[in-house]
Amino acid sequence: MAGLTDRIYSSSPIWVQQLGVALYGWRWYRRRFNPHFYRLVAELESREHWTFDQFNAYQEDHLICLLAAAQNAPYYRKVFADAGVRLAGNPFEILRNLPFLSKETLRTVPEDLITQRPIPKDVIVFKSSGTTGTPTEIYYTPELHALELALPAVRNMGWAQVDYRARRVMFGVRKVCRFEQDRPPFWRYSPAENMAYASIYHLSPKYLPAYIDFLRSYRPAMIMGYPNSLYTIARYALDNNDFPARAQGVFTTSETVTDQIREALESAWQCKVYDRYGAVENCMFASQCEYGSYHVSPEAGIIEILDRMGQPCKPGEIGEVICTGLQNLLQPLIRYRIGDAARWALEQNCPCGRSMPVLEAIEGRFEDICITSDGRELLRFDTVFKGVHGIKESQIVQEKVDHFTVYVVPAENYTDRDQNLIRANMRLHVGDVQTEIKPVDALMRSSSGKFRSVICNLTEAEKISIRQESPHDL
């Protein structure tokens, strides 16, 4: 049915599309801003300055309820039986003894994780392909749907001192106009949400002046979306001294925000960037406070960062993110391998005074951690482009342990100096490897419009072999 609706929408004239978006926005406004939303906002605000012990007690109580509910799901009944789990004693110890939940399991048997039969009629199933292209099915109750909005309202927009009801523009996954549309408007309005949905699939040089004009006339308080898409607009504004209207905050998600991107966005919109980390699975949430620290919201879920042996990483060490959502009792996601890599911050005391755990950074996809011949693991390559001014976008691909390809979208001022500097910086970053630099017209995005700045094409077997042969397993 969704596919048919999309085809009808795509083939309709712009005025019909606009009407459809307005009706869609009204429907979602009523669904998401339900009574649960306002209750959750009040509760989240009341816990802003809880102590560590208070958050720990909250997680313990909710984990007990989650494990009890999970017993009603076929998948977890078997998992608990196989692990010899008895739901008595310390719930955190029980959690640590449970196996991981893979994305493959979630994709193939999502209904085996359901704890209620029949499934409530007011549940909506969301499908998300992420960066892999293979969809997962997540079951949302109205309360879980409200939580998806309440968390950023309080702990993203709220920390930026921006009212969540303020006017905003979303540069996201929705295909709001046909790809072949060759003149503006490349955006559609949702009056009920006080929001415009803008296409990220039309951000070509010839259309960017129209986007700037739109942003100047619409004057949104909030700019929201994928950082690399927003960077395209910001870079145009800075290069051409043609700026959008000043915003109160830029709110990014789903992709890594590099220092270069952050600087450009803040310069173009003359405000701070507040990045957030979440997922359609709704099993964790982290966001930047006014001091730039990534605080984890303990109510959303329990985050573990583990090394390749399954042991907790020390602060500052990169590891795999494992999530246990505390609010979805209908479809529990317990020790879910979400596929990301992150590290805990060395300094957990933020000047903002909040006692929520602090992540140093969300690095990217765990599978895309690159590895050098001596066993060092790398996922951030920001310093490779230090001093490089002649490129618009870049992507680094590890083809072999000693062979990297750097794809660049050249700017008009791209010269041999930029190319030589990239090679020199790569040597400083990863050692004596073959670096192939390939200029391209555009970089590939996933079907959902997301961008991967680093891709590792080594197999897991190759990575294991390198670690075993290296003198230090870092």
Q: What is the pLDDT of residues 80-103, one digit of tens each?
A: 999 888 888 899 999 999 999 998
Cβ burial of 395 (10 Å; 0-12, 13-18, 19+) is buried
Mean local confidence (pLDDT), 72-85: 91
pLDDT of residue 353: 94
The predicted structure's pLDDT at residue 4 = 63
Query: For residue 3, what pLDDT is reported?
Result: 57
Is residue 472 over pLDDT 50? no
Tokens linked to 360: 């140093």
237-276 in b/e form (b: 16+ CB < 10 A) is beeeeebbbebbbbbbbbbbbbebbbebbeebbebbbbbb
List, for residues 215-273, the tens digit of each pLDDT value: 999 999 999 998 888 988 999 999 999 999 999 999 998 888 888 889 999 999 999 99
Q: How big is the chain by its Cα radius of gyration, in Å?
A: 23
**What are 297-307's pLDDT values in tens digits?**
999 999 999 98
Residues with Cβ within 8 Å of 31's Cβ and at least 6 positions away in sequence, in order, are: 124, 142, 145
The pLDDT of residue 474 is: 37
| Percentage of the chain exceeding pLDDT 70 | 93
Could you tell me the pLDDT band of residue 131, with boundaries at 50, 70 and 90?
very low
Task: Point out which residues pair with 371 in neighbouring strands.
Answer: 377
Average pLDDT value for residue range 182-211: 91
Q: Is the pLDDT of residue 45 over 70?
A: yes
| Residues 273 and 250: beta-carbon distance below 8 Å | yes
Whether the CB-CB separation of 226 and 232 falls below 8 Å is answered with no
Q: Which residues pair with 304 in a beta bridge?
A: 322
Whether residue 61 is predicted with pLDDT greater than 80 in this model: the reply is yes
Give the model's pLDDT for residue 163. 94
Share of the chain above pLDDT 90, in %: 50
d(CA 295, CA 182): 42
Least confident stretch, 79-83, 203-207, 430-434: 430-434
Q: What is the pTM of this model?
A: 0.81
Tell me what pLDDT residue 278 has: 86
Mean pLDDT value of segment 11-25: 89
Question: What pLDDT score does 462 carry?
Answer: 76
What pLDDT, on the 0 to 100 scale, is given for residue 313? 92
Distance of CA 158 to the CA centre of its chain: 19
Range scoring the smallest mean pLDDT among 7-11, 66-70, 87-91, 398-402: 7-11
Task: Answer for the pair 87, 307: CB distance below 8 angstroms, yes or no.
Answer: no
Provide the phi-psi class of 141: left if phi over 0, else alpha when psi is between -120 and 50, else beta: beta
Which tokens go with 359? 């992540």
pLDDT in tens, 335-389: 999 888 889 999 999 999 999 999 987 777 766 777 777 777 776 677 788 778 7
Residue 285 pLDDT class (50, 70, 90 cuts): very high
Instruction: Render the burial of 218-233: b for 16+ CB within 10 Å, e for the rest.
Output: bebbbbbbbbbbbbbb
- Residue 6 structure tokens: 């999309």
Supply the pLDDT for residue 100.
Answer: 95
Structural domains for the chain = 2-366 (3.40.50.12780), 369-469 (3.30.300.30)
Measure the N-to-C terminal CA separation of the chain; round to a whole number of Å: 50
